[in-house]
Amino acid sequence: MAMGMGRATRRMQGSNSVSVLLVSLLLVAAATGVSSRATYTGSSTARAGSTVTATAPPKKHVDGKKQQVPALVVFGDSIVDPGNNNAISTIVKANFAPYGHDFGADHRPTGRFCNGRIPTDFIASRLGLKQLLPAYLAPNLSRHDLLTGVSFASGGTGYDPLTAQLASVISMTDQLRMFDDYKARVRAAAGDAALSEILARGVFAVCAGSDDVANTYFTMRARSSYSHASYASLIVAHATAFLDGLLAAGARRVAVISMPPIGCVPSQRTLSGGMGRECSPGHNEIAELVNAGMGTAVESLKARHPGARVTLMDIYGYLLDMMVRPDGYGFRESRLGCCGTGMMEVAVLCNGVTSAVCGDVEEYLFWDSYHPTEKAYRILVDYVYDNYLKDLIA
């Protein structure tokens, strides 16, 4: 870690305050574009990705894995956004180098906030569905894409409606509206029986909340009247409402990814961790409060929706251990990202013009200052699958 701090100090050369300012400007610029952003209206003809192309029937095996469920359908933020933000008017994007540094044979940026694949790609593969889970707003979705699942996630969003507004991205409420459109397209493409099968046996994954804490509450101070506890309660209330709506829309197997130790990601260490860039206790306190509240909320939702399976996949402790003991997971660096200085670069700040890439990505837990590397995601998904998803689909 001392070596990593030395590297960062030399490369920063006193620019830490400038980086903080750039992040603030990034968020402010997003906020000023709210009135003009392309808001999803619920019409499949009003946006990109409305074309459905007939293809061969879905394969029953992916890399030798038997297809275990009919589809994987995902909602959330940049951790699980495979490129929906490419199709909307926002500066929160990752469809440029060096994003995609290790993605496929052509190493191309796709809109994933990572050097390669993201968690939902690995989950789709583990479920025997396909190698990559596509964005719902991707152009020319195939029939196979629709029937085996898509992601509605939008980088920069959160359970708190204000978070999506500030970042000019797709809100969780709008993602539910997109899901209604998706159901209509599945019904048109394959009939009521196919849709019923997806709703009954598909996996519906939800990952959000980090941007509420990191961006809305701490960086933008947009909820300054809330204490840590009251803001956590606000997040839980909105998350519960979203999940209630998803279950009411027919989903029966729902996996909710818990809040991570957001105060320990590189950018939050830089912004709130003091001179030593320690984990920010305030961020982690809210995350822990949200996770506790979501545990109670999940039990209430199961009681309210008999027959539904809802599980809270707790990644907090496991990811914290990866951050504290990176060498135990095959990493050397967990306090800095691979992109640029590793302290602040994320989204437009991590670019091919101003940001060099580290020498060996495999040694880094984080790709940029906020998002883990493909290698870290693979390890995390193995944990989630073995400890939660296997039971959910049994």
- pTM score > 0.75 for this model? yes
Catalytic residues: 78, 368, 371
Q: 61 falls in which pLDDT band (50, 70, 90)?
A: low
Give the per-residue pLDDT at 298: 98
In the predicted structure, residue 38 carries a pLDDT above the cut 50:
no
Condensed to tens digits (0 to 9), the pLDDT of residues 289-312 reads: 999 999 999 999 999 999 999 999
Can you read off the two tokens belonging to residue 77? Answer: 């933020």
Q: Which domains does the chain have, with CATH numbers?
A: 69-393 (3.40.50.1110)
Structure letter (DSSP) for residue 255: E
Cα 293 to Cα 207, 229, 245, 308, 318, distances in angstroms: 15, 10, 18, 19, 19
Phi, psi dihedral angles at 155 (to 5 degrees): -55, 130
What is the rounded distance in angstroms from the CA atom of residue 346 to the CA atom of residue 77?
Answer: 14
Give me the pLDDT at residue 334, please.
98
DSSP bridge pairs for 312:
256
d(CA 64, CA 299): 36
Type of residue at 342: G
Q: pLDDT grade, residue 31 (50/70/90)?
A: very low
- Calpha distance 209→10 (Å, rounded): 33
Predicted confidence (pLDDT) per residue in 119-152, tens digit: 999 999 999 999 999 999 999 899 999 999 999 9
Q: What percent of the chain has pLDDT over 70?
A: 84
- Which among 278, 262, 127 has a CA at the least distance from the CA of 204? 127
For the segment 233-262, what is each residue's pLDDT rounded down to a tens digit?
Answer: 999 999 999 999 999 999 999 999 999 999
Q: How far is CA 270 from the centre of its chain?
A: 21
Mind giving me the DSSP string for 306-357?
TT-EEEEE--HHHHHHHHH-GGGGT-SEEEEESBTTSSS--GGGS-TTT-PB
DSSP letter at 204? E
